[in-house]
Amino acid sequence: MTSLSDLPIRDDLRGKTPYGAPQKVVPVALNVNENTHPVPADVAADIVARISAAMGSVNRYPDREFTELRESFARYLGHGLTAENIWAANGSNEVLQHILQAFGGPGRTLLGFSPTYSMYPLLASGTGTGWIAAARDDEFELSAETAAEQIRREDPDIVILCSPNNPTGTPLSLATIEAAYEAARGIVIVDEAYAEFMPDGEQTALSLLPGRPRLLISRTMSKAFAFAGARVGYLAADPAVVDALRLVRLPYHLSALTQAAAVAALAHSAEMLAMVGEIRTQRDRLVTELARLGYQPHRSGSNFVLFGGVADPHATFEALLERGVLIRDVGIPNHLRVTAGTEEETTAFLDALAALGRPGAPVNSLS
């Protein structure tokens, strides 16, 4: 049988492993930060009607400029943005890939602050861009000084700031984003995949866009909009950045069905986002209850919580799985990450974790 190493694959891809969050069918899946609430039935019916109408012209290529969708995103984001400021693709992963294709590539570098979203180094490697893992402060925080100092020292072509950060949940202050922008010579991306879950009072970087043409803010419908399976991510930036992304996208990359579904969902954004408050409540409950059980949860502005104090993350992960609860071992020593689910799912996780015994002790296995 042929193995990967027998193939004439690019040298820089040899030995690499693909993105691989486990996809298992379990009663309680809290492992990939999905919104576990389904799309409301009346909104789903409207989306199906729009898709059905789009089927009438699916023999033709879709609107390459996805103009109606860009107008819908501009309206949703507000902040004086117009369709010219908006880009979109099949998930924000593809948006990020477009950015790296246009602004990264061989001989160029992308800098992020570890631990951060595991796809960044993979997107860098896929586009031949060098990856620089910069450090965070204690408690996974990132001050303006720490960010700016490392950006000046490493002088990357692209900086990516994840706010709130995956897998730690840490939101960034606007002061850190401004300092990173001032220190950077090139593109600065703020990945706001989880922005809608931020506590009241935390501000989005959208307010920093005017006068900052190198600032790019990526968003997704996968999380707050409960639309992960539809694959829709988007970006707000200066219109010149959007022109740059047109150079690298595949023609007609957003299908007519995807465009129809997303436009319909955005027309119901209030209802689609109705669950965000409930998810934040479960997130805050996780923080309180994990601490009560003796773990060390970290501050989170997203729909998941990273918690420390886990003596053997692998054993705890497996013991929870035995009890039908799937969470995520993100490779940080003594830590695990859990997504805030519905009230029932969150209860099922907390009960299963409590049944494993005290944090420092060997876990109680079912078998």
Q: Which of residues 16-75 bind ligand PMP (CB under 6 A)?
A: 33
Return the closest-CA partner of residue 326 out of 18, 26, 2: 26
- Please name the residue that has the structure tokens 């389904």: 38
| 97 is a site residue for ligand PMP (CB under 6 A) | no
Q: What track of x and - describes contact with ligand PMP for positions 125 through 144 (by CB under 6 A)?
A: --------------------
With CB under 6 A as the rule, give the number of residues binding ligand PMP.
13
One-letter identity of residue 26: V
Query: Which residue, 28 or 162, is less far from ligand PMP as judged by CB?
Result: 162
Query: Which residue, 166 or 346, is less far from ligand PMP as judged by CB?
Result: 166
Query: Which residue, 305 or 319, is less far from ligand PMP as judged by CB?
Result: 305
| 163 is a site residue for ligand PMP (CB under 6 A) | no
Which residues, 6 or more positions from 182, have their beta carbon under 8 angstroms from its beta carbon? 148
Q: Which of 36, 168, 170, 220 binds ligand PMP (CB under 6 A)?
A: 220
* Residue 65 neighbours by CB distance under 10 Å: 12
Min separation Cβ 228 and ligand PMP, Å: 6
Min separation Cβ 219 and ligand PMP, Å: 8
- Please name the residue that has the structure tokens 């436009």: 263
The CA-based dihedral angle spanning residues 264, 272, 76, 241, taken in that order and rounded to the nearest 10 degrees:
-80
Residues 338-367 as b or e (16 or more Cβ within 10 Å = b): bbbbbeebbebbbebbeebeebeeebeeee
Q: Which of 122, 228, 273, 321 binds ligand PMP (CB under 6 A)?
A: 228
Which residue has its beta carbon closest to ligand PMP?
91
Query: Which residue, 44 or 228, is less far from ligand PMP as judged by CB?
Result: 228
Min separation Cβ 230 and ligand PMP, Å: 9
Helix (H), strand (E) at residue 345: helix 343-355
Residue 332's alpha-carbon distances to 118, 308, 344, in angstroms, are 12, 9, 27
- Please name the residue that has the structure tokens 């020292």: 153
Min separation Cβ 98 and ligand PMP, Å: 12
Binding site for ligand PMP (CB under 6 A): 33, 91-93, 117, 162, 166, 191, 193, 220, 222, 228, 233
